[in-house]
Amino acid sequence: ASHQGSVAAAQKAPTTIDTSKFMAPPITELSVLEGKPNDMRTKMELMIMRIQSEFCRALEGEEGAGCKFTVDRWRRHNPSEGGGVTCVLQDGKTFEKAGVNITVMTAPLSKELQASMRARGKKLPEDKKFSFFAAGISSVIHPRNPHVPTIHFNYRYFEMQDEDGNNKHWWFGGGTDLTPYYLDEGDVKLFHGVLKSACDRHQPDYYSRFKKWCDDYFFVKFRGERRGVGGIFFDDLEDTDPEKMFGFVTDCADAVIPSYLPLVKKHKNDAVSEEERRWQLLRRGRYVEFNLVYDRGTKFGFATPNARIESILMSLPLHARWEYMHQPAPGTPEYKITEVLKNPKDWV
Amino acid sequence: ASHQGSVAAAQKAPTTIDTSKFMAPPITELSVLEGKPNDMRTKMELMIMRIQSEFCRALEGEEGAGCKFTVDRWRRHNPSEGGGVTCVLQDGKTFEKAGVNITVMTAPLSKELQASMRARGKKLPEDKKFSFFAAGISSVIHPRNPHVPTIHFNYRYFEMQDEDGNNKHWWFGGGTDLTPYYLDEGDVKLFHGVLKSACDRHQPDYYSRFKKWCDDYFFVKFRGERRGVGGIFFDDLEDTDPEKMFGFVTDCADAVIPSYLPLVKKHKNDAVSEEERRWQLLRRGRYVEFNLVYDRGTKFGFATPNARIESILMSLPLHARWEYMHQPAPGTPEYKITEVLKNPKDWV
C-alpha cells in the first residue's frame, strides 16, 4: 500500500504527512500532497481522512469486541479521476448499519450537472466544458436501538473550472443532522448545542441561518414533514476567505463526535419493545424516501457518469418497512416525534 | 353507501349498473355513470372497478381464512376532484403486501406536469391552463414466498383539455410486468405467453413493441439492470379508434389473473431458506429504488397537488433491505436472475 512505501522510496523522500491512523492511504499520491501542503485540496483531503478515522474508531468503541469497520478503498472507473474510501460496519451489536465515506475526485461536469449548477446561481458560460474537483466526507449511522437517533453528516469542498483553466469557482458545503425515532429533548438540545458552539466560534449568525437551512432542506414535501430534528446545513459558502471557511468546516466536522457519541452511550442499551422496533423500521422507510427522492447529494451522484452507486446508497438502512396508512395514535411517543417533524422547534 | 341507495331512490331511477361485486361504490355518482353509459370515462371507471374486485377476490382465494383486503374509499382534498378506492392486504400468509388501487380524478394540470406532457410530445399551448381527467387501476403484489414473483400492473385512460374546452387530448397507457426473485423459466414463459395472446388479438406488432418498451422503461440506469423480467408497457396510445384501444386495454387487464395466479399457486408453499428470504429483501430494496427514483407514475403522483401519497406508495414492500456491496456468487441461483436482469431475453 502506498502509505507504507518501500524502504528506497522512504529514503528518497521522507514522509512528512502521518497517515498511519487513517483507515486507508489517501486517494491522492502522498508525494503530490506533500508537494502542495498549503493547497486547499490537500488540506481538505487530509482533514476528511482524519475525521473518517476518528469517527469510525469512536463508533467501534461502542461496539462489541471484534465488530470493526470494513475498509473499501476504491478508484473510479477511470483511475485518474480519483476515488474514495468507504468504511461500513453492518449488523453490529450497537449499529445496524454505519457508513463513513470519503471521496476525492476530479471529473468532467456532465451537461445535466452544469445545468443544475447554473440553476443554483453559478455563472458557467454555455459554450465551455467544465471539470470539477470534489473532496468530501459523508456518513449515515443507523443504530440498532430505536432510542439512539440516526445521524448524518457531510462536509465537502468543490472546485470547478473550464477547459482553459478559466471561470474558476470554489465553495464549501455541508451539515450535520439528527433523526431520532423517539423524542428525548435532552438529546436534541445537547446535539444542537454542540453544533451551535462550533458555529458561534466563526460567525454569530451561522447557527441560526444554517439551522433554518437544515429544516428547509430536509423537508419531505409529499409527507409534509422533515426527515428529523435538523441540525445545520449550508452550501455554496464562498463569501469569505477560503482558509476561514476551511476552519469553520473543520470545526463542524470535529463537532460530530461530541454531538452524537453521548446519545449512543446513553441509549444503546435501552429496553426495546416490538412496537418500538416496528416504528423505527417505518421511520427508516421515510429516511429512504428522502434520500432517494430529494437528497441533492444522491441526485448529484446519480447524475455523475460512472458514479459508484454502492458508496452513494451506503446511506440506506439495513432494514426498512412500509405499511399502508400507518398513523401513530395521538398522545403516544410515536405521535410526539411526528409533531416535531411537522413543526420544527428552536432547541438552544 | 350510494350503491345501495334508499328504497325511494331505487324506485325513482332503477339502477342498471350492477356494482354489487365491486370492492366499493364507484367514485362517480351512479346517476352520472348511468346517464352516460357510452362515455369512455364511464366505461373505463366500470372496467377498472370490475378488474379491481376480480383480482382482489382471486388473491384472497390464495390466502388463509379471514385474510381479506381492507377497502379504503377516499376522496381528494377537494372532493369534486374525485378520489379512489385503495385495497390493501398486509402481512398475509401468502401475500406480504398486496395493493390494488383505482383512481378516478379530474384536476388542474400543474405547470410542472404541463411541462412534462410537452416533453412527451403533447401539443399544449403555453398561454392556456389545462385540466385533466384520469381513470386508472394500479397494483403491486409482494408475496411472502421468494419463489413467487412480484407483479405490477397499471391501466389508465387520460383526457386533457384547456380552460375553454379546446386543445383536447386523450390516450391510454399501461402495462403488466413481473419481478421474480428466482428464475423459473416456465413461469416467465407462461406469463409472457398470456400477455402475448392478449396483444396478438389486437395488433400483430403490439407484443414485440410493448415488450421492448417494458424492458427499456423498467431500467435502473445506475444499477445497469432492469427491475424484473419485463412484460408489456405502453403509453400515449392514441393512434387508433378509442373503442378499439379500450378493448385492448380491457383484454390486457383481463390477462392479469391468468398470467399470475398459476405462479402463486405453484410456488406459494415452496420451501424457503434464510438465504432466499434475505435475497428477496435485498431485491425488494431494488424495487424501492426503481419506484422512488424512476417510476413515472410515482413522479406524476409527487407532482400532483394534494396527491394522496399513501395510495401512490402502496407499491412499496412491507420490508426491504440494503447491504453494502452485496454480490451473488457466480453460479448461484441469485446470480442467475441478475444476469437476466442485465440482459433481457425473448421468452415467447
* Residue B75: HSE in the Cβ half-sphere, 13 Å Cα cutoff: 11
Inspect the interface and report whether the beta carbons of B322 and A310 lie closer than 8 Å. no
In total, the C-beta contacts within 8 angstroms joining chain A to chain B are 79
* Residue A6: HSE in the Cβ half-sphere, 13 Å Cα cutoff: 3
Q: What is the mean pLDDT of chain A?
A: 93
Looking at residue B40, its amino acid is M
Q: Is residue A142 annotated as part of the catalytic site, yes or no?
A: no
CA R_g for chain A: 20
State the cell numbers at B121: 410530445
Query: By a Cβ cutoff of 8 Å, what residues of chain A touch chain B?
Result: 72, 86, 88, 90, 97, 99, 221-223, 281, 285, 288-289, 292-293, 302, 307, 309-310, 313-314, 316-325
| Chain B partners within 8 Å of A309 (Cβ) | 222-223
Mutate to test the interface with B, among A311, A325, A327 (most CBs of B within 10 A): A325
Quote the CA–CA distance of A130 and A118 in Å, as a whole number. 12
Inspect the interface and report whether the beta carbons of A289 and B292 lie closer than 8 Å. yes
Average pLDDT over residues A23-35: 96
- Alpha helices by DSSP H, listed for chain B, are 7-12, 30-35, 40-60, 111-119, 185-200, 206-217, 242-254, 256-267, 274-289, 296-303, 309-312, 333-342
Catalytic residue, from A152, A192, A202, A267: name it: A152
Inspect the interface and report whether the beta carbons of B325 and A293 lie closer than 8 Å. no
pLDDT score recorded for residue A8: 47
- Using pLDDT thresholds of 50, 70 and 90, give the confidence band for residue B5: very low
| Chain B partners within 8 Å of A150 (Cβ) | none
Average pLDDT over residues A5-12: 47
pLDDT score recorded for residue B15: 60
Closest CA of chain B from A10, distance in Å: 35
Mutate to test the interface with B, among A89, A219, A322, A325 (most CBs of B within 10 A): A322
- Using pLDDT thresholds of 50, 70 and 90, give the confidence band for residue A10: very low
Inspect the interface and report whether the beta carbons of B223 and A309 lie closer than 8 Å. yes
C-alpha distances in angstroms, B284 versus A318, B143, B321? Answer: 12, 11, 7
Residue B7 has pLDDT above 50, yes or no: no
Residue A6 has pLDDT above 70, yes or no: no
Pairing between β-strand A219-220 and β-strand A225-226 as defined by DSSP bridges: antiparallel
State the cell numbers at A59: 463508533
State the cell numbers at B111: 405547470
Question: Cβ(B188)–Cβ(B267) under 8 Å?
Answer: no
pLDDT score recorded for residue A330: 97
Task: Report the Cα A307 to chain-centroid distance in Å.
Answer: 17
Q: How many residues does chain B have?
A: 348
Q: Between A72, A307, A321, which is nearest B319 by CB?
A: A321
Residue B199 has pLDDT above 60, yes or no: yes
C-alpha distances in angstroms, A69 versus A83, A88, A206, A340, B109? Answer: 19, 5, 33, 33, 50
| Chain B partners within 8 Å of A319 (Cβ) | 281, 319-321
Closest CA of chain A from B202, distance in Å: 37
Q: How many residues does chain A have?
A: 348
Inspect the interface and report whether the beta carbons of B317 and A322 lie closer than 8 Å. yes
CA R_g for chain B: 20
Average pLDDT over residues A228-246: 92
Quote the CA–CA distance of A148 and A314 in Å, as a whole number. 19
Please choose, from the candidates B140, A172, B191, the residue with its C-alpha nearest in 3D space to the C-alpha of residue B199: B191
pLDDT score recorded for residue A118: 85
> CB A145: neighbour CB atoms within 10 A?
21
Q: What is the ipTM of this complex?
A: 0.92
Closest CA of chain B from A302, distance in Å: 6
pLDDT in tens, B306-326: 889 999 999 999 999 999 999
Going by C-beta distance under 8 Å and a sequence separation of 6 or more, which residues neighbour residue B203?
Answer: B248
Residue B116 has pLDDT above 90, yes or no: no
Quote the CA–CA distance of A256 and A151 in Å, as a whole number. 9
Q: Give the residue from chain B lying closest to A327, CA to CA.
A: B310
Residue B1 has pLDDT above 50, yes or no: no
- Using pLDDT thresholds of 50, 70 and 90, give the confidence band for residue A307: confident
Give the predicted TM-score (pTM) of the model. Answer: 0.92
- Using pLDDT thresholds of 50, 70 and 90, give the confidence band for residue B13: low
pLDDT in tens, B63-106: 988 899 999 999 999 999 999 999 999 999 999 999 999 999 99
Inspect the interface and report whether the beta carbons of B318 and A322 lie closer than 8 Å. yes
Phi-psi region for residue B56, left (φ > 0), alpha (ψ -120 to 50) or beta? alpha
| Chain A partners within 8 Å of B97 (Cβ) | 322, 324
Quote the CA–CA distance of A263 and A190 in Å, as a whole number. 9
pLDDT score recorded for residue A13: 53
Least-confidence region, from A7-16, A101-110, A161-170, B280-289: A7-16
Q: Give the residue from chain B lying closest to A307, CA to CA.
A: B222
| Chain B partners within 8 Å of A72 (Cβ) | 324-325
Average pLDDT over residues A26-45: 96
- Using pLDDT thresholds of 50, 70 and 90, give the confidence band for residue A2: very low
State the cell numbers at B304: 400532483
Q: Which residues of A277-304 are buried (b: 16+ CB within 10 A; e: fewer)?
A: bebbbbbbbbbbbbbbbbbebbbbbbbb
Catalytic residue, from B152, B202, B267, B326: name it: B152
Going by C-beta distance under 8 Å and a sequence separation of 6 or more, which residues neighbour residue B174?
Answer: B136, B153, B154, B155, B156, B233, B234, B235, B249, B252, B253
Residue A254 has pLDDT above 50, yes or no: yes
Residue A322 has pLDDT above 60, yes or no: yes
DSSP assignments along A56-88, one per residue:
HHHHHTTSPTT---EEEEEE-SSGGGEEEEEEE
pLDDT score recorded for residue A7: 47
pLDDT score recorded for residue B10: 45
Task: Report the Cα A164 to chain-centroid distance in Å.
Answer: 32
Q: Tell me if residue A20 falls in helix, strand or coil.
A: coil
State the cell numbers at B89: 392486504
> CB B181: neighbour CB atoms within 10 A?
23
Quote the CA–CA distance of B340 and B225 in Å, as a whole number. 9
Pairing between β-strand B319-321 and β-strand B219-220 as defined by DSSP bridges: unpaired
Phi, psi of B104 (to 5 degrees): -135, 110
Inspect the interface and report whether the beta carbons of A310 and B325 lie closer than 8 Å. yes
Pairing between β-strand B82-90 and β-strand A230-237 as defined by DSSP bridges: unpaired
Residue A226 has pLDDT above 90, yes or no: yes
Average pLDDT over residues B132-158: 97
pLDDT score recorded for residue B302: 85
Q: Between A90, A222, A322, which is nearest B307 by CB?
A: A222
Least-confidence region, from A83-97, B28-42, B160-174: B160-174
pLDDT score recorded for residue A1: 36
Q: Tell me if residue B229 falls in helix, strand or coil.
A: coil
Average pLDDT over residues B236-263: 94
% of chain A exceeding 90 in pLDDT = 80
Inspect the interface and report whether the beta carbons of A324 and B307 lie closer than 8 Å. no
Quote the CA–CA distance of A346 and A196 in Å, as a whole number. 12
- Alpha helices by DSSP H, listed for B27-66, are 30-35, 40-60
Q: Give the residue from chain A lying closest to B308, CA to CA.
A: A222
Inspect the interface and report whether the beta carbons of B313 and A322 lie closer than 8 Å. yes
Question: Cβ(B74)–Cβ(B103) under 8 Å?
Answer: no
Inspect the interface and report whether the beta carbons of A285 and B310 lie closer than 8 Å. no
Residue B11 has pLDDT above 80, yes or no: no
Query: By a Cβ cutoff of 8 Å, what residues of chain B touch chain A?
Result: 72, 86, 88, 90, 97, 99, 221-223, 281, 285, 288-289, 292-293, 302, 307, 309-310, 313-314, 316-325
Q: Tell me if residue A96 falls in helix, strand or coil.
A: strand
At residue B127's C-alpha, the angle toward residues B122 and B128, to 5°, is 65
Q: What is the mean pLDDT of chain B?
A: 93
Phi-psi region for residue A226, left (φ > 0), alpha (ψ -120 to 50) or beta? beta
